[in-house]
Amino acid sequence: MPPDDLARLAKRLDGRLSSTAAERLRTARDASPAVGTPRAVVSPAHVRDVVTLVRWARRTGVPLTARAAGTSLDGESVPVDGGIVVDFGGWNRCRSIDPVERIARVEPGLVNRDLQRRAAREGLFFPPNPGSSDRSTIGGNVATNASGPRSFRYGPTRAWVRGVSAVLGTGETVTWGTAAPKRSMGPDLAALLVGSEGTLALLTEIRVGLAPLPERRLGLLVPWAPEQPWAGLLRFARGPDGRSLSALEYLDPRAAAALRGSVAGAGSADHGLLLLEIESTEAREERRALRGVERMLRSAGADGPILRFPDAEELWRIRGAAGSAIDPGGSPRVREDVAVPRARIDELRRRLDRIAAAEGVPMVLYGHLGEASLHPNFGVDPLSPKGRRIRAKILRAAQALGGTASAEHGIGSIKRRFVPAEIDAPGLRVLRELKRIFDPDGILNPGKLYPPGGRAPSRSPSATAASGLRRG
Ligand SMILES: Cc1cc2nc3c(=O)[nH]c(=O)nc-3n(C[C@H](O)[C@H](O)[C@H](O)COP(=O)(O)OP(=O)(O)OC[C@H]3O[C@@H](n4cnc5c(N)ncnc54)[C@H](O)[C@@H]3O)c2cc1C
């Protein structure tokens, strides 16, 4: 990129472009091992800044990578091809909440937890609650189709997007979706941007649906023997006794050890733990639901004490603290995110155990069990040959069972080569054609999501030469 091009852009953006080493370093990583240093960081102030930037990028061929909180785990927000990071972190306002339509109109950089707080004042909540909800943003959640424990009952972010405003890779501004409770008018254009990882458009506003806040949320903590199968539990959880459940999570004995430090009486150290949440509107309903859930747990094989947390938030707070205790040093590790059809969940676990045994590396396993969505963790450098091999084995194991290499985190730069095992050739062609329509010059977040090879829009050779690429 000729330096005067960048200087001209900085002038047009009136100081909202920074190329200081500190800013470039800050945006060179997310929570994954991927690294890519941008030439500059732009913090747009208005939609017209975003349009200016996209038009400039089309002209110069310089790539743009949207960034919000940078908590993604597969390099989604890392500018692996250099270029410019578009930082939406400052777009953090909740513009309005319509309590009748139960829709929040938010800026993409609004932190998930801040939306929860704002919605609670109206007696509402935003159901997707990823483990990163104290940092991750609604824009990031939409662009990765994030989930959380409550997705067991309420589904992923995709289920809650009611509309978007965005700047396409063409430089056009669009507003898609409606506040009308229903509409039947062709495919849902807003839905195309969910999970698109900033490769099709830059989101400038998001309208999300909200759900009524239940009056009561009861948390349960239940010891679970590691050898006890899960499939029966998942069958019961989907039946009449599980109807009140909003979350069903699992921690294996290693992950549970961190939590046991702060909860007395949570079963013996050789047991894992189930974490459940029951939603209800009043005490009698809660007691009835609890009886059903206890019946379900006993029938599925739970035989230890069932600890109750009258306010489930307390349980989730302890669980969150245990999350950082699993890896206090934040050392690099293989940290995966797979899901399978519920009936195959025990087979997945056996395969993961076999991978750990064959590689001679202990595994820490936890996840959103109710959705057969697991996070196997291995204390190995994910960029080492061994780390890469372990990751490939995990992802292929899930795919071989009819599952997925990405349950909720996304594909980013790290998992692209695993996509063709799940999306057939016509499907990949459609995805690439969509990319071409939305982003004809391939300027939006290159090196992500779409598998390597194939005919995707390519950037100009000068732009490629100008970027400082280092890939995780
Ligand atoms: C401790 C921890 C726990 C986690 N737990 C969960 C979990 O339970 N469930 C889960 O699903 N994920 C989880 N994650 C992963 C991560 O938090 C999610 O993927 C989250 O949605 C990313 O949000 P973000 O604001 O950090 O986005 P970023 O990382 O900044 O960006 C993510 C993607 O969104 C794109 N993007 C951002 N803003 C825009 C925009 N305005 N327009 C277009 N594209 C945009 C970026 O280009 C990128 O592709 C966890 C991560 C950590 C570190």
Answer left, alpha or beta for residue 442, where phi above 0 means left and psi between -120 and 50 means alpha: left
Q: What is the pLDDT of residue 397?
A: 98
pLDDT for 392-405, tens place per residue?
999 999 999 999 99
Mean predicted confidence (pLDDT) in 406-422? 97
CB-ligand 1 contact for 169 (6 Å cutoff): no
The predicted-structure confidence for 218-236, as pLDDT tens digits, reads as follows: 999 999 999 999 999 999 9
pLDDT, mean over the chain: 93
Q: Give yes or no: residues 131 and 178 share one domain.
A: yes
Q: What is the mean pLDDT of residues 145-150?
A: 97
Domains: count for the chain: 3
Phi, psi (rounded to 5 degrees) for 23: -65, -40
Task: Tell how far the Cα of 223 is from the centroid of ligand 1, in angstroms.
Answer: 31
Exposure b/e, 287-307, CB count within 10 A at least 16 = b: eebbebbeebbeebebebebb
Cβ neighbours, 10 Å, residue 308: 13
Q: Residue 18 in 3-state DSSP?
A: strand
> How many other CB atoms are found less than 10 A from the CB of residue 93?
14
Q: Which two tokens stand for residue 183?
A: 């509409």
Q: 73 near 335, Cβ under 8 Å?
A: yes
Instruction: Report which protein residue has its CA nearest ligand 1's atom 49.
Output: 197
* pLDDT at residue number 472: 30
**Last residue of one domain, picked from the residues 291, 308, 326:** 326
Q: What is the pLDDT of residues 322-344, one digit of tens each?
A: 776 666 556 789 999 999 999 99
CA atoms within 13 A on the CB side of 124: 18
| Residue-wise burial string across 426-447, b where 16 or more C-beta atoms lie within 10 A, e elsewhere | eebeebbeebeebbebbbbbbb
Distance CA 318, CA 300 (A): 25
pLDDT at 456: 54
Q: Please check whether residue 454 is in contact with residue 434, taking contact to mean a CB–CB distance below 8 angstroms.
A: no
143 lines ligand 1 (CB under 6 A): yes
Note whether residue 69 is domain-resident: no
Q: What is the pLDDT of residues 5-36, one digit of tens each?
A: 899 999 999 989 999 999 999 999 999 999 99
pLDDT, tens digit (0-9, with 9 covering 90-100), for 265-286? 888 999 999 999 999 999 999 9
The residue whose C-alpha atom lies closest to atom 16 belonging to ligand 1 is 72
Query: At 449, which amino acid appears?
Result: L
DSSP conformation class of 380: S
Give the Cα separation of 349 and 343 in Å (integer): 12
Give the domain range for residue 174.
94-212
Domain co-membership, 314 together with 226: yes
**Nearest CA, atom 11, ligand 1:** 146
Does the Cβ of 413 fall within 6 Å of ligand 1?
no
Condensed to tens digits (0 to 9), the pLDDT of residues 249-259 reads: 999 999 999 88
Going from the Cα of 13 to the center of ligand 1, the distance in angstroms, rounded, reads 26
Please give the Cα distance from 371 to 115 (Å, whole number). Answer: 24
| Ligand 1 centroid – CA 14 distance (Å) | 29
- In the structure, what pLDDT confidence band is assigned to residue 464 with cuts at 50, 70 and 90? very low
Q: Where does a domain end: 155, 184, 212?
A: 212
Q: Quick one: which of 213, 197, 261 has its CA closest to 408?
A: 197
- Residue 110: is its pLDDT beyond 70? yes
- Are 37 and 470 in contact by the 8 Å Cβ rule? The answer is yes
Residue 472 corresponds to which tokens in the numbers above? Answer: 């995780």
pLDDT band with cut points at 50, 70 and 90 for residue 461: very low
Same domain, yes or no: 208 and 220 = no
Task: Pull the structure tokens for residue 34.
Answer: 């991927």
CA distance 119 to 113: 10
Reported as type and span, the H/E element at residue 12 is helix 3-12
Q: Note whether 179 and 101 are within 8 A (CB).
A: yes
Q: What is the CATH number of the domain that holds 237?
A: 3.30.70.2190
pLDDT at 465 exceeding the cut of 60: no
Same domain, 377 and 349: yes
Q: Do 299 and 260 belong together in one domain?
A: yes
Q: Which of 328, 337, 331, 414 has the alpha carbon at shortest distance from 379?
A: 331
How far, in Å, CA of 392 to CA of 371, rounded?
22
Q: Please report, for the domain that includes residue 383, its CATH number.
A: 3.30.70.2740
- Quote the ligand 1 centre to 2 CA distance (angstroms): 32
| Residue 191 belongs to some domain of the structure | yes
Residue nearest to atom 40 of ligand 1 (CA): 203
Mutual orientation of helices 385-400 and 345-359 as an angle, nearest 10°? 160
Do 112 and 199 have their domain in common? yes
Q: How far apart are CA 353 and CA 359, in angstroms?
A: 10
The pLDDT assigned to 248 comes to 98
pTM of the model: 0.95
For residues 414 and 472, is the Cβ–Cβ distance under 8 A?
Answer: yes
Distance 72 CA to ligand 1 centre (A): 4
Beta strands in 14-93 (DSSP E): 17-18, 40-42, 64-67, 84-87
Lowest mean pLDDT among 11-15, 54-58, 459-463: 459-463
pLDDT of residue 132: 94
Q: What is the arithmetic mean of pLDDT over 363-386? A: 96
Residue 429 falls inside a structural domain: no
Are 193 and 164 spatial neighbours (Cβ–Cβ below 8 Å)? yes
208 lines ligand 1 (CB under 6 A): no
Asked if the model's pLDDT at residue 350 lies above 60, the reply is yes
DSSP label at residue 404: B
Tokens of 304: 């230890």
291 and 313 belong to one structural domain: yes
Quick check: CB of 148 below 6 Å from ligand 1?
A: yes
Q: Residue 234 in 3-state DSSP?
A: helix
Instruction: Judge if 315 and 348 occupy the same domain.
Output: no
SS3 1: coil
Whether residue 431 is contained in a domain is answered as no
CATH number of the domain bearing residue 134: 3.30.465.10
Q: Which residues are CB-contacts of 8 (< 8 A; sequence separation ≥ 6)?
A: none
CA distance linking residue 289 with residue 279, whole number of Å? 8
Q: Is 38 in the pocket of ligand 1 (CB under 6 A)?
A: no
- Taking the CA atoms of the chain, what radius of gyration do you get in angstroms? 23
Between the CA of 409 and the centroid of ligand 1 the distance, in Å, is: 7
* Cα–Cα nearest to 78, from 42, 143, 147, 26: 26
* Residue 203 sits in the same domain as residue 293: no
Which residue out of 72, 135, 151, 152 has the highest number of ligand 1 atoms within 8 Å of its CB and is therefore the one to mutate? 72
Across 86-108, average pLDDT: 98
pLDDT band, very low/low/confident/very high, at 463 (cuts 50, 70, 90): very low
